[in-house]
Amino acid sequence: MGTGESIQQIREKLKGRPEPAELERWRQDSRAGVRKLLETYDRKQKAQAEERERLERFQDLERAFWARGMDQVAGCDEAGRGPLAGPLVTAAVILPHSIWLPGLNDSKKVTAARREILYGEILEQAVSVTVSILGPREIDRLNIYQAAKTAMTLCLTHLKVRPQAAVTDAMPLEIPGMEVEDLVHGDSRSAAVAAASIIAKVTRDHLMEDLDRQYPQYGFAKHKGYGTARHIQAIMDCGPTPWHRRSYEPLKSMSLKEEGVSENQLLQLK
């Protein structure tokens, strides 16, 4: 028995938010095409419900802070510790207490295409976002650990909304008036840290793509500055760019006189 509606009409309505009465009516429809549409719809609804539950669990750490009266909890992470070239990019993100960011996870576990989507969704939903960009000269001067520590502190203290607490990816920090918890694999255990990892990774990838256009012989867009065989060969053949880190091998052994570029930015994206 049909319902007087075409399968195409039902398909379009299922893309939105059908009323319970409509769903019940369609479930009485004997057409195979309608049954197939409803099976697909039910699978999607189940997947969405499971993802909402996962995201809710993903904020358990933040929820523990909220329960103690700390409503604004920031996550902080960086991208670019290991590469021979390019900036260190760090981000801090405060998420609202309820989020819908399907697929949010540690940036290394998310495809490049999904990271791009999440980047926009995070900026849209976040309470506040900052990004720090430190160039090679500062990395060489401070060392990468201290550079990351400095950048995280800058990001957390320059959010437009001041957090009462923060979670970092395995970086202990002491910031007056802010409780900071450093977690190993924090980007897989905290939604806010995962969001920061996405913002940092996408921002850095875009910067490396820009550098690839300036220095096409090095392949920055592909390896993002990491020490691949092709990248090291390009350094040997062409010498380093101003974006190469002089304190990293094999550049350190070259005893280069020129310092790397000093290109530092602190961006309040929201």
Q: For 100-170, list the strands marked E by DSSP.
A: 128-134, 165-169
User: Measuring CA to CA, how many Å separate 119 from each of 30, 31, 62, 111, 114?
Assistant: 43, 41, 20, 12, 8
Which of 16, 37, 58 is at the close of a domain?
58
Domain that holds residue 197: 69-268
Question: Is residue 206 in a domain?
Answer: yes
* Annotated binding-site positions: 77-78, 169
- In this structure, are 105 and 179 located in the same domain? yes
- In this structure, are 95 and 165 located in the same domain? yes
Q: Can you give the pLDDT at residue 163? A: 98
- In this structure, are 223 and 150 located in the same domain? yes
Q: Token pair for residue 228? A: 């691949």
- In this structure, are 34 and 119 located in the same domain? no
CA atoms of 68 and 242, how far apart (whole Å): 47
| Neighbour tally for 62: CB within 10 Å | 25
Q: Which residues is 265 bridged to in the sheet?
A: 133
Q: Is 244 left (phi over 0), alpha (psi -120 to 50) or beta?
A: beta
- In this structure, are 109 and 194 located in the same domain? yes
Which of 35, 58, 81 is at the close of a domain?
58
- In this structure, are 34 and 126 located in the same domain? no
Question: Is residue 64 in a domain?
Answer: no
- In this structure, are 116 and 86 located in the same domain? yes
CATH number of the domain within which 116 lies? 3.30.420.10
Question: Is residue 165 in a domain?
Answer: yes
- In this structure, are 188 and 90 located in the same domain? yes
For the stretch 80-114, pLDDT in tens is 999 999 999 999 999 999 999 999 999 999 999 99
User: For 239, phi and psi rounded to 5 degrees?
Assistant: 80, 170
- In this structure, are 38 and 147 located in the same domain? no
- In this structure, are 105 and 166 located in the same domain? yes
- In this structure, are 12 and 44 located in the same domain? yes
Which of 58, 81, 100 is at the close of a domain?
58
- Could you tell me the pTM of the whole model? 0.89
- In this structure, are 13 and 77 located in the same domain? no
Work out how many domains the chain is built from and give that number: 2
Question: Is residue 242 in a domain?
Answer: yes
Q: Burial of 59 by CB count in 10 Å (0-12 exposed, 13-18 middle, 19+ buried)?
A: buried
* Annotated binding-site positions for a divalent metal cation: 77-78, 169
CA atoms of 63 and 191, how far apart (whole Å): 11
What does each of the 270 residues of the chain score in pLDDT, given as a tens digit? Answer: 556 788 888 888 888 888 888 888 888 888 888 888 888 787 888 778 888 998 999 999 999 999 999 999 999 999 999 999 999 999 999 999 999 999 999 999 999 999 999 999 999 999 999 999 999 999 999 999 999 999 999 999 999 999 999 999 999 999 999 999 999 999 999 999 999 999 999 999 999 999 999 999 999 999 999 999 999 999 999 999 999 999 999 989 887 877 777 888 999 999
